[in-house]
Amino acid sequence: MRNIVMLMLGVTLSTSLAAQTTIGGKFSKILPNGVDVDRVFFSKPDDGGLMTVEEMLKSKTDQTFQAALKPADLNVIRYVGVYEEQYPVYLKPGEKLTIEAGDGKINYSGNLSKENQVFAAWYKLIAPLRNYGYTKKGYTLPPDGYVSLLDSLEKPVQDFVKNIRTGNDSFDKQVKYLLPFSYKFDVLMPLATGLSFRSKNEYPAQVVKLIEEEKYADANLWSLPMAYHYMINLSFVKYILFNNKQGIAAEMLVPEITDNPLRANFVLAHAQRGTTQSLVKFLEGNSKYMMNDKQKKELALLLRRANLQVAGGSWIDFTYPDVNGKMHSLSENLGKVVLLDLWATWCAPCLAEVPALEKLQKELQGKDVVFISLSLDTDKAKWQNMVKQKQLSGVQLFSNSEPNFMQDYEVTEIPRYIVFDKNGKTVNFSAPRPSDPKLKTLIESNL
């Protein structure tokens, strides 16, 4: 009986493994520092871009990657890629998809579903165009070749999309909306990455048509994974390159977006991802475009965070424990200048500044200034031991890298030193380090 049970269990496990859906292969992407990426991202569309579902590490021996997919990622369009180079996939239960990608090209192999056959044929069709936007020196290719290539691709691309018939009606509808925008995105990519023309008359007819006719009138655009970057690239080409305007292209674009929900989504996305001349002014000037309470609250939070970073802006309060568990709030220090030191026990540059910070505290002892060192560690015991062993001065607090604080203060690197005045207003959001005499001068000027 036991042998029968074990045999049945073996059959069940074999069937389960055989039915497992996997994606794998090779993906080459050289970063600006000359290093190949060490992971590939599996993502889904979200908020005009992509949200990572899984990071697939590449093998150090043969640079391949592989992952088994979860049920939620089957029978839907997902994306595999690195940074701006992303490729759609559509996997069914039990399918094993292998890709080999890089420099704008991809080869899909395996027992491909009809859906993945569509994607494979699509990227084979437009491969010559992607030479211009996704290879290291694509922008140096002759512009005349780019123009003639667009002319030659126009009808084949239209026919390809028109003739998509996989028998999966939902998929066919999605890709007939997706691929035309994907194509327009790839048409713009060479211009966004450096391909140039001397005058308006030299621009391809397809690009000119896109510049003149795109009114951003369809809210569904935001459902696409390239929506935000499509709008950014087209605005850059239209305003900066084609019309020779000065300024931030995205800021010029906002008033021209004709669909109200799309405009609100773009404003919020750009405030979080893009560059502005003044984030505070950008948010204040576009607050009127928010459509509902959720968007209004999100903009208000972004504005609060933006104000924190400019001189005269208000601090955002926080409360964290010291080594003994006693809670301390930033707002307890009104009436004193505050130096906020963001650090961690694993941060070598932070530790290198400790002697200078201790010296500065002694020099300003008795003055209306408080030194708050806020640890971004997640190992509380390690932090407590270092504070006690080194007998660190000032107010030592433990944040556990709490997400709200990290977002409020946009912590992307440490050490960072922030100076607030006696009224809780920002003096300098990125102040000099303690080893720089300018920090002491800055503090003393606000006492």
The pLDDT tens digits for 20-29 are 899 999 999 8
Tokens 């140039």 locate to 196
**Predicted model pTM:** 0.87
The pLDDT tens digits for 144-199 are 999 999 999 999 999 999 999 999 999 999 999 999 999 999 999 999 999 999 99
CA distance 379 to 16: 39
What average pLDDT does the segment 332-336 reach? 96
Backbone torsions φ then ψ of 163, nearest 5 degrees: -95, 15
Token pair listed for 113: 């579903």
The gap from C-alpha 421 to its chain's centroid, in whole angstroms, comes to: 33
Q: What is the pLDDT of residue 82?
A: 92
The pLDDT tens digits for 368-420 are 999 999 999 999 999 999 999 999 999 999 999 999 999 999 898 999 999 99
Alpha helices, H only, 201-347? 205-213, 227-235, 249-253, 260-273, 279-286, 293-308
- DSSP per-residue letters across 304-365: HHHHHTSTTPBP---EEE-TTS-EEEGGGGTTSEEEEEEE-TT-HHHHHHHHHHHHHHHHTT
CA distance 435 to 62: 46
CA distance 94 to 74: 10
Backbone conformation region of residue 110, classed left if phi is above 0, alpha if psi is from -120 to 50, else beta? left
Q: What is the pLDDT of residue 139?
A: 87
Confidence of residue 32 (pLDDT cuts 50, 70, 90): confident
Q: What is the pLDDT of residue 409?
A: 93
CA distance 302 to 187: 33
**Terminal-residue alpha carbon distance, the chain:** 85
What average pLDDT does the segment 11-38 reach? 74
The pLDDT tens digits for 300-311 are 999 999 999 999
Judged against a pLDDT cut of 60, whether residue 327 lies above it is answered with yes
Judged against a pLDDT cut of 50, whether residue 5 lies above it is answered with no
The percent of residues above 90 in pLDDT, for the chain, comes to: 90
Given CA atoms 146, 148, 151, 155 in this order, what sign does their dihedral have? negative
CA distance 165 to 118: 9
Confidence of residue 18 (pLDDT cuts 50, 70, 90): very low
**CA atoms in the 13 A half-sphere facing the CB of 248:** 13
Judged against a pLDDT cut of 50, whether residue 200 lies above it is answered with yes
CA distance 257 to 63: 43
Confidence of residue 230 (pLDDT cuts 50, 70, 90): very high
**Do 447 and 337 touch, CB atoms closer than 8 A?**
yes
Contacts 24+ apart (CB under 8 A), 106-113: 109/25
What average pLDDT does the segment 128-156 reach? 94
**Do 151 and 204 touch, CB atoms closer than 8 A?**
yes
The pLDDT tens digits for 248-287 are 999 999 999 999 999 999 999 999 999 999 999 999 999 9
Confidence of residue 347 (pLDDT cuts 50, 70, 90): very high
Judged against a pLDDT cut of 70, whether residue 4 lies above it is answered with no
